[in-house]
Structure 1
Amino acid sequence: MSNDTNKHEEGRHHGSHHHHHHGRPLFTGHAMPAFNPEDLLRREERRRTMLQPEKALQLFLDRNDAVMLDLGCGVGMFSLVAARYLSAGKVYASDVHQGMVDTTLRRAKEAGLSNVEGIAAPAAKVPLPDASVDVVLISMVLHDIDTREEALAEAARVLKPGGTLFMIEIDRIDGGFGPPMEMRIPPAELRTMVSASGLEVTYVNDSPWQKSLYFLHAKREG
């Protein structure tokens, strides 16, 4: 793999391409990644191997009639797999980029899935009612956004009492891919942030499939 394709594996971004993080450009010294659906589609097989959506979803989807929000859905890698499993449920595929949402919905239609609904909105302002979803998935997204606390508060808001938040994030360990180290969220920091949103963290575990990735599972009390 060439350097610039490794620098930032995820092709999603919530907000301006020019925003700064702690006063520094997010991609100092790196070629700016292309945040577009075509770029993510090209890399999907590699990302699928790392993220293992079929296996990961089994860690938190335990009934086929659940309503799930995929917050920062990208081109729908998780949304499509979840929609197949949730035969009596529904997936809200949400992304700040309309092009990502459109691509996800096109792929759902091509796969014959009628239970995927698209939402183009920032992660911190999802137009869903309070306590309206059973599960929120945030996979490889939070490190990319500058409204992290607001996004987690929004996840907590839309979850039903007893609902589940499942997150996949990347630790500050070199696994040969991913964003610059300073963008990454260490597990202890994420645990603190999720707890501050009012959710109860059930566990934080390293991914068994990919070095440097980890999972966080949390519940809304009720």
Structure 2
Amino acid sequence: MSEKRFNPAKLAKLDNPERRKALPPEKLLAMLPINNQDAILDIGAGTGYFAIPAAKITKGTVYALDVAPQMLAVLQERVEEAGVANVQYVEGVIEEIPLPDQLVEHVIASLVLHEVEPLDRGLQEIYRLLKPGGTCFCLEWEKKETEQGPPLDHRIGSSELAEAFASAGFEIVARHFPTDAHYILVARKSE
């Protein structure tokens, strides 16, 4: 396992009241033009912070990708508790996602791209999986010292990530800074 990968033993950090207050998933997902039948891929789905609210917005399939089987097991319990039936669990790494081309209208990449090695390979996979005109919602840690989050040398600055998305064939259609420590990029795959 890469030293950059999130340790599943710390999963309580993924879904806590402070994070929900600062980064409310339902409000943030409203940044995507999600339609009733859209398919969505949540990469690094963890405990379902975004996958479960996304599954309540669409009747399409929400593919929840995580490298850790124990995370997928927790996610499955939470999905059952939430009463949603359109989540499909996918074990795998972002650099080589075991799903077919042009499968989804939207990709959610929440606090995970800083773990991808190499980053361009992960962005190529996102591009491959998106249908033409599809969007990627990316929430990341800004490259500055904060009390929480990954080490500074693991982080990707917002300008650097925007350039990487552009190099991978995306257009940045929105940029937000919901907290002092986080930024959001919404990137669209060319038609």
When the two structures are superposed, what TM-score results if normalisation uses the length of structure 2? 0.92
- The alpha-carbon distance between structure 1 residues 165 and 178, as it changes in their structure 2 partners (threshold 3 A), is same
C-alpha contact 1:191 1:204 (8 A) present in aligned 2: no
CA distance in 1: counterparts of 2:14 and 2:69, whole angstroms: 19
| Deviation (angstroms), 1:16 | 3.0
Match of 2:182 in 1: 213
1:39-54 paired onto structure 2 within 5 Å: 39-41=10-12, 44-45=15-16, 46-54=18-26
Structure 1: gaps of 5 or more residues: 1-14, 18-25, 27-32
Which of 28, 51, 58 in structure 2 is aligned with 1:56? 28
In the other structure, the counterpart of 2:124 is 153
Q: Which residue is 1:80 aligned to?
A: 52
Q: Give 3-state SS (helix, strand or coil) of 1:135's partner.
A: strand
Map 1:56-205 → 2, pairs under 5 A: 56-86=28-58, 88-205=59-176
Other structure's SS at 1:77 match: coil
Shift of 1:204: 2.2
CA contact (8 A) 2:177 2:183 kept: yes
Deviation for aligned residue 1:43? 5.0
Deviations 1:83-133 (A, max 9, x none): 1111x2221000111111121122111221110000000001111111110
**Secondary structure in structure 1 of the residue aligned to 2:19:** helix
1:16 aligns with 2:2: yes
Q: Distance in 2 between matches of 1:125 and 1:109?
A: 28
Structure 1 segments (4+ residues) deviating >4 Å: none
The alignment partner of 2:136 has SS state of strand
SS at match of 1:66: coil
SS of residue in 2 equivalent to 1:102: helix
Distance 2:173 2:66 in 1: 26
| Identity across matched positions, percent | 34
Kindly tell me the number of residue pairs found equivalent between the two proteins.
190
SS in structure 1 of the partner of residue 50 of structure 2:
helix
Partner SS state of residue 146, structure 1? coil
1:123-147 Cα distance to aligned partner (Å, 9 max, x none) = 0111111111000010100112322
Aligned residue number for residue 23 of structure 1: none
1:188 Cα deviation (Å)? 1.0
Check conservation: 1:67, 1:89, Cα contact below 8 A: yes
How big is the alpha-carbon RMSD for the aligned residues of Structure 1 and Structure 2?
1.8
Q: Which amino acid aligns with 1:111?
A: A
Return the offset for 1:42: 5.5
Partners in 2 of 1:43 and 1:217 — Cα distance? Answer: 21
C-alpha distance 197-34 of structure 1, shift in aligned 2 (>3 A): closer
Structure 2 vs 1, CA of residues 42 and 186 (structure 1 numbering), >3 Å: closer, same or farther?
closer
Supply the distance in 1 between the matched residues of 2:13 and 2:119 (Cα, whole angstroms). 27
Deviation at 1:221, TM superposition (A): 1.5
| 8 Å contact kept, 1:44–1:77 | yes
Q: TM-score, normalising length from structure 1?
A: 0.79
